[in-house]
Structure 1
Amino acid sequence: MLNRQNPRVSVVIPTLNEAANLRHVLPLLSHDYELVLVDGGSVDGTIDAAREIRGDIRIIKQTRKGKGNALACGFEAATGDIIVMFDADGSADAAEIPRFVEALIAGADFAKGSRFCEGGGSHDITPLRRAGNGGLHLVANTLFGTRFSDLCYGYNAFWRDLVPVLDLPVVDQPGSEGMMLWGDGFEIETIINCRFAEASVRIEEVPSVELARIYGQSNLRTFSDGFRVLRTLMTERVRARHIKRKSIVRPLRESIDARTDMDLEFEALESYNEVLELRERTA
C-alpha cells in the first residue's frame, strides 16, 4: 500500500553517454530519494561515474532501444510511492522535485511539469520550438479535452500504482532486430499525457523552469520530432476511441501483444478510411 502522507520518492533517470552531466546532476539529488538510473548502452563511463558519485544508486540496463523503453524499465524497477521522470542532461532542476511531490500529496494523480504556466520558463527552448509546442498542445487539448499548457516536456511525476494505466510495452518483450515497439521512443512523453488524460486521472500542472543542457547536444529535431508528436496524438486518439467503442476492459500488461509504430499507423489509417467511406455514403 502506498504511503500518501509521507511518500518515498523514486527518481528515474534515463541515460545514454551522460557521464559529464551526471557529475553535476547527481550531487543535487537528495539522499532521501531512490535513484534509478536506466542506461541505454553508454560508452563514456556513465555507469562508473554514477556509482562513483552516488554509491546508493540503482543501475538498470534497458531491454530495448529508446527513451520510452528506458523509462518503462525504470518504472518497473522503482519501489517508491512516487515516480519522478528526470532527465540526466542538467535541464531538470532537482530543487523542483518537492513541488511535484506536494502536488501529488495534495490530491493529484499526475503532476505534469509546464514551462508555460505561471512560474514556469525555459533557458533552452527556441522561438520555433515554442510555437510548435503551442500548436501541438492545442491539438492535444482538442482531441482529449485537456487544458495542457505544455505538451512536450518530460519533467513529470505520478503515483507508482498508476503505472499499469499507462499500458506500456512489457519490458521483457523482445522487439525485432533494429525495431522499437510503440512507446519505446521519444513519443513516450506524449503517450503518457494522452493515456493519463484518457483515464481521467487527476492532473495538475506544476510550473517548472527548464535549464540549459550542461554538456553535449540535444537529440531533438524540431520538424521531425514535431511531426512525430502529431502522429502520436492522432494514433493515441484512435486507440482511445477503439477502447471506448468496444467497451474493452483494460487488459493485464502481460497479455498485450507487442505493436510497432507501423502497426499503430495502419490502425490509424484504417480508421481514417472508415470515416471517408461513411462520408461518401451519406453525401
Structure 2
Amino acid sequence: MGVQLGMTFFGTPARNTKDPLVSIVVPALNEALNLSVVLPQLPQVHEVILVDGGSVDGTVMAARRALPGIITVLQGRKGKGNALAAGFARVTGDIVVMFDADGSADPAEISRFVDALKQGADFAKGSRYVAGGGSADITRIRSLGNRFLNGLFNIGWRSRYSDLCYGYNAFWADLIPLLDLPDHKAPAPANGKMLWGDGFEIETVINCRFAAAGVSITEVPSVEKLRMFGESNLRAVSDGIRVLKTLVTEWRRARQIRRMERKLTQPALARSASASESLAA
C-alpha cells in the first residue's frame, strides 16, 4: 500500500505489519509534572522521543528520570508543529505515534492505533466523536468550533471524518516525506511570526495533506482525559482562526498540486495520441 505523488512513491507493500517498531513522539513545553506520571505508563516500544520547546521547569530531567531510555530533542523554533517536525526527523521506527505530554492522551489506546495500521490503514486518525470516543476536557465552545471546522474540512476534501482538531494520531513512518513540513532546523522569521505549520494548526495540516494524497485513513475511537497539571498553551479563538486559515491554504495547495499533475500528464497523452495516429496511418 502506498501513494504515488508526481514521480515519488511513498509507502511500500513490504511494510512490517507483523511486528512493527513503534516510535512515540512527545512534544513538550514545561510539562515536568505531567511527564513524571505519563511516561512510566507508556507501553514498551522501539523508542520514545521527547521534543522540548525550551522548558524552564526541568522537563527534560524529569523525563529522563521517569524513562531513562528516552531520546530527547531540542526544537529549533517555537510551536507544536515545529516540535513534531523535529521529532519526526528523529524517528527510526516503522510507525509514528503522536502523543501529548499533558496527560490527556491515554497510553493504553496506543495499541488501537497500531492495530489499525497493521490492518491496512496508512493513517490512524484519533476521534473523540465516534463510538467509544469522548472527552473530559473539551468545552462546549471548542466542541462547536471543532465541528464547524471539521464540516468545512469534509466539504473541501469530500470526506466524512468526525474530528479534525485532535492530536492523538499514528501513521506509517514511510509517509513522513509526504507531509512536506517546514524544515525544523531553519531559523525563525526575523519578524517573530511562526512559519506555516509550526503552530497548533499542525494536526489540520497533517489531516489535509494525507487526505489530499488519498492515503487510507481509519478513525480510531479515543477518550481525551483532563490535563493533569499546568495550563494548556492552546488558545481557542486565535488557534481556531489559524486552523480556518489552514483549511483555506491547504485546499488551495491541494488544488495547485492537482493542476500541476494534470499538466504533467498532458504531454504524455499528446505523445500517445500522436503515436496512435502514426500507427493508424
TM-score by structure 2 length? 0.86
1:91 maps onto 2:107 in alignment:
no
Q: Which residue of 2 aligns with 1:103?
A: 116
Unpaired runs of 5+ residues, structure 2, are 1-13, 265-281
Paired positions, count: 250
The code of the aligned residue for 2:66 comes to I
Deviation at 1:31, TM superposition (A): 2.5
Distance change in 2, residues 1:249/1:220 (3 Å):
farther
Deviation at 1:2, TM superposition (A): 4.2
The code of the aligned residue for 2:237 comes to F
Unpaired runs of 5+ residues, structure 1, are 251-283
Q: CA RMSD in A?
A: 1.5
**Residue in structure 1 matching 2:140, options 115, 127, 148:** 127
Per-residue displacement from partner, 1:135-187 (whole Å, max 9, x unpaired)? 11000000011111000000000000000110101222223232322111111
Per-residue displacement from partner, 1:206-244 (whole Å, max 9, x unpaired)? 000000000011122222222111111011001111111
The code of the aligned residue for 2:200 comes to F
The code of the aligned residue for 2:18 comes to Q
Aligned residues with identical type, % of pairs: 62
Residues 216-255 of structure 1: pairs in structure 2 closer than 5 A: 216-247=230-261
Distance change in 2, residues 1:225/1:176 (3 Å):
closer
The code of the aligned residue for 1:205 comes to E
Maintained 8 Å contact 1:4/1:81: no
Query: Secondary structure in 1 aligned to 2:83?
Result: helix
Deviation at 1:248, TM superposition (A): 8.2
Q: Which residue of 2 aligns with 1:191?
A: 205
TM-score by structure 1 length? 0.85
**Residue in structure 1 matching 2:129, options 110, 116, 124:** 116
1:203 maps onto 2:217 in alignment:
yes
The code of the aligned residue for 2:121 comes to A
**Residue in structure 1 matching 2:163, options 123, 133, 150:** 150
Q: Which residue of 1 aligns with 2:196?
A: 182
The code of the aligned residue for 1:13 comes to V
1:77 maps onto 2:93 in alignment:
no
Deviation at 1:249, TM superposition (A): 10
Measure, in 2, the Cα distance between the counterparts of 1:39 and 1:93.
Answer: 20
